[in-house]
Structure 1
Amino acid sequence: MVKITFQPVSVQKPEKDNDADKITIPQAHEQLVPPVRPRKTYSLMRPHCFIFGLSVIMTVLVMASVYFYRYYVPLEIPEDSLFHCRVLFEDTVYAPLSGRQELEENVGIYLDDNYEQISVPVPHFGGSDPADIIHDFQRGLTAYHDIALGKCYITELNTTTVMPPRSLWELLNNVKRGTYLPQTYIVQEEMEVTGRVRNMRQLGPFIHRLCFGKETYRLRRRNQRQRIQRRETKKCHSIRHFENTFVVETVICDRF
């Protein structure tokens, strides 16, 4: 008689089968968040920021160059607008018995910019200070730089004694071939200091360039009937110059 036996069959599956059948369900927050990618905004903005910054720097440099050129670089003028003058005149105010005196100066006329610049060297006869003078017809101002004192004086342009650039240019061209201008006379104007000038830019580029770094004061004209008292003569100084058919002696009384 044959005996048949059966081995028990295990119902457990191998672990690898369990892992294969396992289903993973993602969480809610994992479904909403997309995969993180590198941002390109910064890389795209960088060239634009660089170009903008470069344009700002270039603009500042251009403006600074224009300002420096306008206020500090002397302008060149054609040779036919430069004049060397020697004028004979009668001093009937202070030296009526001394006979004729001579005034020498260099004149530059800027027709395009509508101003005149006069340089008066140390006079041969004394009694006057060397000076540089600017008559700015565009702004209606006159500036006297007294070289002996190292000071600048600003006043309103007196168009009754100062010829405009075109008229003065024509006058000087008419006598340019001669050594002397026709004999003339002298006119005196009296000025007094009223205060210090703080804002130099309001004077315009030409006067600003002349008076930059110097003590600068404002002037006002005295009444022509008012005479300079003898006690004031030590505080006053004069500048003789020529910008018309006569010589002008500007007497400046400085209280500072």
Structure 2
Amino acid sequence: MVKIGVQQPAAALKPEREKEKEKAAGGDGAAGAVLLPAGAEEQAPVVQGRRSSLSGVCYLTMGLLVLLLGLVFASMYVYRYFFITQLPRESVFHCGVLYEDSLYSPFKGQLELHEDVKIYIEENYEQINVPVPQFGGSDPADIIHDFQRGLTAYHDITLDKCYVIELNTTIVMPPRNLWELLVNVKKGTYLPQTYIIQEEMIATEHVSDMEQLGSFIYRLCSGKETYRLKRRSTRRRISRREAGDCHRIRHFENTFVVETVICKKS
């Protein structure tokens, strides 16, 4: 018996495994296609738009922040190099102030007080030098007002003694305010008052530890007899009665002349 067979095409001879792979890939050999759910194609541009908006807000915020920092640094630069230069670290003034004193003036008119003022704004202290007055009744002196420590020191040049007391901020102007006052007086935009304020003080105990007074007063009073002062009164100057064994120092540190009367302890 003879068997007759028909040869099948090559495609029909593919193994079953390859057919299963084709089905998994695309189904019956058709090109594979990704199926998206309904509406997904419309949502994609919306998400991209939101991301773009958020990125724009972030860039705008960063730009505003950089601009703000630039303004801050520019303000600091202007303050440091333009404003502070108007207030020098040390300012020196030569002052001549007219005031009335019928007790000391032979012609019962106005006297003139001269002094040199050094103002240290950053260190917050003032140094005043009062030379020998043209008319008697006052001693030459060096004065320091230390606002950082709250102390005032008087060096009576005639006696070569130092006196230290708490700073009287009701009479003594702070360095910056005094600087502005003297600048206006120099420009002629302000004229000081002509009356005298008198403050009376009594010398008390001797000061042995000079370093506790601070570096500014230490340099002024080092090697000199130094005493603490106790304030007796502050009033408008009227007369010289009850002077006792006292010395006077006239100086200008406000809108008026101050006469500091220092007396020995009785």
TM-score range, shorter chain: 0.5 to 0.7
Q: Which residue of 2 aligns with 1:245?
A: 255
1:89 corresponds to = 99
CA RMSD of aligned residues (A): 2.5
Question: Distance in 2 between the 1:138 and 1:80 partners?
Answer: 16
Matched, 1:151 2:161: yes
CA 1:121–1:208 in 2, change beyond 3 Å: closer, same or farther?
Answer: same
Q: Render the CA deviation track for 1:151-192: whole Å, top value 9, x for unaligned.
A: 0000010001100000000011112245x9545211100000
Partners of 1:89 and 1:101 within 8 A in 2: yes
Aligned residue number for residue 194 of structure 1: 204
1:221 aligns with 2:231: yes
Rounded Cα–Cα distance in structure 2 between residues aligned with 1:206 and 1:239: 20
Q: For residue 236 of structure 1, what is the aligned residue in structure 2?
A: 246
* Bigger relative contact order, structure 1 or 2 (CA pairs below 8 A, ≥6 apart): 1
* Contact 2:89–2:120 (CA under 8 A) maintained in structure 1: no
- SS in structure 1 opposite 2:172? coil
Deviation per residue, 1:4-31 (Å, 9 max, x gap): xxxxxxxxxxxxxxxxxxxxxxxxxxxx
| Structure 2 unmatched runs, 5+ | 1-86
Contact 2:198 2:259 in 1 (8 A): yes
**TM superposition score normalised by structure 1:** 0.63
Does the 8 A contact of 1:85 with 1:181 survive in 2? no
> Pairwise mapping of residues 28-177 of structure 1 onto structure 2 (< 5 A)?
81-91=91-101, 98-177=108-187
Q: Secondary structure of 2:149's match?
A: coil
Aligned counterparts of 2:106 and 2:132: Cα–Cα separation in 1: 21
Deviation sequence 1:81-139 (CA, Å, 0-9, x none) = 10000000012566596110110000000001000000000000111000000000000
How many residues end up aligned between the 2 structures? 176
Which residue of 2 is the match for residue 207 of structure 1? 217
Where 1:148 maps in the other structure, the secondary structure is coil
CA offsets per residue over residues 24-51 of structure 1, 9 Å max, x none?
A: xxxxxxxxxxxxxxxxxxxxxxxxxxxx
2:212 & 2:241 partners in 1: Cα distance? 34
- In structure 2, C-alpha distance between the alignment counterparts of 1:87 and 1:224, rounded to whole Å: 21
CA shift in 2, pair 1:161/1:183, >3 Å: closer
Could you tell me how far 1:244 is from its partner in structure 2? 0.3
2:204 maps to a residue whose letter is T
Q: Which runs of 5+ in 1 are unaligned?
A: 1-76
Identity %: 69
* 2: CA distance, partners of 1:223 / 1:79: 34
CA distance in 2, matches of 1:190, 1:150: 19
Residue 95 of structure 2 aligns with an amino acid whose one-letter code is: C
Contact 1:114-1:165 at 8 Å conserved across structures: yes
